[in-house]
A and B are shown apart, each in its own frame.
Chain A
């Protein structure tokens, strides 16, 4: 039921990642109202307290803010979103490089492989 989660990480932190991804990719537009804790919990198939904890984390990193009685909204501060995007990219790249290092590739080889990749139409 709901979203699938990894076994070795707390669910709330996986929710944070998932929602950050959604915000960064524009699935949740800047200034858009987020679903309620209850709706998110139902959708994801997780405990509402877990959702609450994830949203609090997002609030702490300023990606999300609460307007009393109106609900939770994605920040309109594009700079913050851009920064989160950069951070996600950096994490992904580190992960990738770490794996490739483990497989024994040098940076030059990685660069060559990337250049050889067919261009992606955006």
Chain B
């Protein structure tokens, strides 16, 4: 059942997302071809290459933002719109629905990262030669030979995953709670903004205090302290629970 939910989620979201990737990759291709075909020193040719590069750059930005927007709007439409009459009467629990959507979103975020890197490689392919890969391997080797580098990398990755999951769950919770208010939508939005600001301020305050009380020297660099991870996880759980609660107990479609 869970696998099927994910399969359908991929199908439903893939249509828009793959088109978005497609545009970005096409522009990346155009960039690399423009770099090879045009002479940058000739006035008008240089401009053409410039415009293509700008378009490509914008498409990368569009993908980064678009992934989140597309997935969030899909959630709203699929669970809280007319399709909700179909989805919320499936023989499955709310947990499965939420988790399948969250995991699919995370997969798309990873895929987006890969697609972006790929597009950069394509766009910049004219500067890729045998030396590039040699330097890349050497660079990576250098980084990983540093003690603790791997651990830093993993922690950054973990933090990024937790953050990505948080903003996703935040939007799920926001929309799920919103639909339970037939009237007073304005009040809800106001409250949602206030609560979000208060929460993040609170977390920031806790984090700073931890830093001070842990007596960390100003020079010591910690990407994120354990308390930050705890907060990220806590906020994730809070948002998940809010979405789950709204869908289980306060569902009120149209």
Indicate whether A and B are direct neighbours in the complex (CB within 8 Å): no
B residues whose Cβ falls under 8 Å from a Cβ of A: none
